[in-house]
Amino acid sequence: MLNLGSILHSKGFSITIAHTQFNSPKPSDNPDFVFLPISDGLSYSDLSSKGIVDFISCLNINCKEPLLESLTPMIDEKQQLKELPCIIYDEYMYFAEQVAHLLKLPSVILSTGSAANLLTYYAFPRLQKDGFIPFQDDMALDMVPELHPFRFKDLPFRFKDLPGASSENLDALSKLIASARDTRSSSAMILNSMEFLEQSSLIQLKQQCRIPLFSIGPMHKIASASSSSLLEEDSSCISWLNKQGHNSVIYVSFGSIASVDAKELTEMAWGIANSKQPFLWVIRPDPDNGAEPTDWLPDEFKVTLGERGYIVKWAPQQEVLAHTAVGGFWSHCGWNSTIESISEGVPMICRPCFGDQKVNTRYISHVWRNGFELENDLERGKIERAIKRLMVEKEGEEMRQKAVELKEKTEVSIKKGGSSYNSLNELVELITSV
Can you tell me the mean pLDDT for 302-318? 86
Q: Do the Cβ atoms of 278 and 248 come closer than 8 Å? A: yes
Asked if 339 and 208 sit in the same domain, the reply is: no
Across 239-278, the runs of DSSP E, i.e. the strands, are 249-253
Q: Look at residue 305 and tell me whether its pLDDT is greater than 60.
A: yes
Q: Do the Cβ atoms of 325 and 247 come closer than 8 Å? A: yes
Q: Look at residue 385 and tell me whether its pLDDT is greater than 60.
A: yes
Can you tell me the mean pLDDT for 167-195? 82
HEC string for 286-335: CCCCCCCHHHHCCHHHHHHHCCCEEEECCCCHHHHHCCCCEEEEEECCCH
Asked if 102 and 192 sit in the same domain, the reply is: yes
Q: Which residues pair with 249 in a beta bridge?
A: 326
Q: Look at residue 153 and tell me whether its pLDDT is greater than 80.
A: yes
Report yes or no on 38 lying in a domain. Answer: yes
Report yes or no on 225 lying in a domain. Answer: no
pLDDT of residue 419: 98
Asked if 258 and 361 sit in the same domain, the reply is: yes
DSSP letter at 392 equals T
Report yes or no on 261 lying in a domain. Answer: yes
What is the Cα–Cα distance from 50 to 62, expressed in whole angstroms?
15
Report yes or no on 17 lying in a domain. Answer: yes
Q: Do the Cβ atoms of 102 and 68 come closer than 8 Å? A: yes
pLDDT of residue 298: 78
Asked if 164 and 298 sit in the same domain, the reply is: no
Pairing of strands 249-253, 279-282: parallel
Report yes or no on 228 lying in a domain. Answer: no
**Which carries the bigger pLDDT value, residue 54 or residue 351?**
351
pLDDT of residue 80: 60
DSSP letter at 109 equals E
Report yes or no on 433 lying in a domain. Answer: no
Q: Look at residue 81 and tell me whether its pLDDT is greater than 70.
A: no
**Count of other CB atoms within 10 angstroms of residue 131:** 8
Q: Look at residue 204 and tell me whether its pLDDT is greater than 80.
A: yes
Across 165-275, the runs of DSSP E, i.e. the strands, are 188-191, 213-215, 249-253
Asked if 165 and 254 sit in the same domain, the reply is: no
Nearest to 334 by CA among 149, 118, 23, 114: 114
Asked if 74 and 45 sit in the same domain, the reply is: yes
177: which residues sit within 8 A by CB, 6+ positions away? Answer: 121, 124, 157
Most confident of 177-186, 283-292, 400-409: 400-409
pLDDT of residue 82: 65
pLDDT grade for 169, boundaries at 50, 70 and 90: low
- 25 — phi, psi (to 5°)? -75, 165
Asked if 211 and 271 sit in the same domain, the reply is: no
Burial class, 307, CB count within 10 angstroms (exposed 0-12 / middle 13-18 / buried 19+): exposed
One-letter amino acid at 146 equals E
Asked if 258 and 141 sit in the same domain, the reply is: no
What is the Cα–Cα distance from 380 to 44, expressed in whole angstroms?
32
pLDDT of residue 151: 94
Domain limit, last residue, from 156, 185, 215: 215
Report yes or no on 431 lying in a domain. Answer: no
The domain containing residue 202 runs over which residues? 2-215
Asked if 321 and 388 sit in the same domain, the reply is: yes
107: left (phi over 0), alpha (psi -120 to 50) or beta: beta
Report yes or no on 396 lying in a domain. Answer: yes
Average of per-residue pLDDT values in the chain: 89
Burial class, 120, CB count within 10 angstroms (exposed 0-12 / middle 13-18 / buried 19+): buried
Helix (H) or strand (E) holding 373: strand 371-373
CATH assignment of the domain containing 243: 3.40.50.2000
Can you tell me the mean pLDDT for 216-221? 97
Asked if 22 and 87 sit in the same domain, the reply is: yes
Domain count, the chain: 2
Could you tell me the pTM of the whole model? 0.92
Asked if 6 and 96 sit in the same domain, the reply is: yes
Asked if 342 and 266 sit in the same domain, the reply is: yes
Tens-place pLDDT, residues 229-247: 778 888 999 999 999 999 9
